[in-house]
């Protein structure tokens, strides 16, 4: 059997810190994930066994006196495979799970922001979306190994994925388990990883998905699409895809709940005499009846011409705020007619009226 001090490259009088430092350096160089050669694998086992013995004061004393150390290199060590796990993956190696863990894990959820027009929110819309996500590797089909190969059982933990140690405590000797640092708790090692996915069982790719965006969506709303997110490692189940909606600004129409809001400019004579006009709505023509004597700030309601409710129950209304336009440039003939109207209504000259709070916000207040 090779000398443990020679295996680690330290002197017999080396301190525990020097032994630990030497082991960590060699573990990084010889770990199968870093150096897959057969010679490195054998040396890795040798230096790990040497460290298990020399890191435990009692076993080191027995070894220095000519003994081999107890526990076949796994019992009673203060540092070992748990430290390998910490060295490579940042963990403490103190998990309570028993048995090997699966390489298959659920994939992450994904978030995609989708912009729709205000018109598309009335009845909903179907879209084909391009998603950059993780998909199953077609070469290995999620096995993570090169075609024609398979993982081999870890000969350190013998396929259990766990390393057991006996430690002394106030209650006596206690057996503890920690993930095997060689196989990272999987119980097996991939000697020949798939060249396409580098042993991950998945690759990143552009994927097209068809989405039915329902009517009534609004900015900030998130739609959940189960199992449309990223494929998990080793071909694990996919996460969910969340679509976050953004409704584009419209220059004419705005929205409150399921109602559409718009302003209709009415000429002064049309407001006085009344008229019927046909306007271009978001989804079709809208016929609007302006009654005689209409005033700025009045709101006309066209039933069932708003947004289809996301929760069912039909459509909202189209609410039109009237804005009467006073002409600023008149022809001589127009001025003459207006003067005749003014002469006929002399008793309607301007005068003080009862104060109205928020007069200039009247139109806004009527909408809200």
Angle at 236 between CA 234 and CA 242, to 5 degrees: 130
CA atoms of 19 and 15, how far apart (whole Å): 6
Residue stretches of the annotated binding site for Zn(2+):
137, 140, 154, 157, 180, 183, 194, 197
Alpha carbon of 276 to those of 180, 210, 279, 294: distances in Å? Answer: 82, 43, 10, 12
- Binding residues, by number, are 137, 140, 154, 157, 180, 183, 194, 197
Helix (H) / strand (E) element for 83: namely helix 81-89
E-only strand ranges, 196-310: 202-213, 222-225, 241-247, 254-256, 259-267, 275-280, 285-290, 299-302
Residue 176 vs residues 95, 163, 167: alpha-carbon distances, Å: 10, 8, 7
| Rounded Cα distance, 267 and 115, in Å | 37
């Amino acid at each position: 059997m090779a000398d443990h001090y020679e295996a680690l490259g330290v002197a017999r009088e080396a301190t525990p810190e020097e032994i630990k430092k030497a082991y960590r350096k060699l573990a990084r160089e010889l770990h199968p994930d870093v150096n897959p050669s057969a010679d490195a694998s054998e040396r890795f086992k040798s230096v790990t066994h040497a460290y298990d013995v020399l890191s435990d004061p009692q076993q080191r004393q027995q070894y220095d006196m000519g003994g081999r150390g107890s526990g076949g290199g796994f019992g009673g060590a203060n540092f070992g495979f748990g430290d390998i796990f910490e060295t490579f993956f940042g963990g403490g190696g103190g998990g309570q799970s028993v048995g090997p863990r699966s390489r298959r894990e659920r994939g992450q959820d994904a978030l995609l922001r989708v912009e729709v027009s205000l018109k598309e929110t009335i009845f909903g819309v179907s879209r084909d979306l391009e998603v950059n996500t993780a998909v199953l590797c077609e070469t290995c089909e999620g096995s993570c190994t090169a075609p024609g190969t398979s993982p081999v059982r870890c000969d350190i933990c013998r396929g259990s994925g766990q390393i057991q140690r006996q430690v002394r405590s106030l209650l006596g000797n206690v057996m503890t388990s920690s993930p095997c640092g060689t196989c990272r708790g999987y119980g097996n090692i991939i000697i020949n990883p798939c060249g396409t996915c580098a042993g991950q069982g998945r690759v990143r790719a552009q994927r097209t998905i068809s989405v039915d965006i329902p009517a009534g969506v609004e900015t900030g709303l998130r739609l959940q699409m189960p199992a449309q997110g990223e494929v998990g490692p080793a071909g694990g189940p996919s996460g969910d895809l969340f679509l976050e909606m953004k409704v584009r600004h419209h220059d004419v129409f705005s929205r409150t709940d399921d109602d559409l809001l718009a302003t209709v400019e009415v000429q002064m004579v049309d407001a006085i005499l009344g008229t019927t006009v046909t306007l271009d709505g978001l989804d079709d023509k809208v016929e609007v009846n302006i009654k005689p004597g209409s005033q700025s700030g009045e709101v006309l309601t066209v039933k069932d011409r708003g947004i289809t409710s996301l929760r069912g129950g039909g459509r909202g209304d189209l609410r039109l705020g009237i804005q009467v336009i006073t002409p600023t440039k008149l022809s001589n003939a127009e001025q003459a007619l207006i003067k005749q109207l003014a002469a006929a209504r002399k008793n309607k000259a301007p005068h003080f009226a009862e104060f109205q709070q928020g007069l200039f916000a009247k139109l806004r207040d009527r909408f809200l």
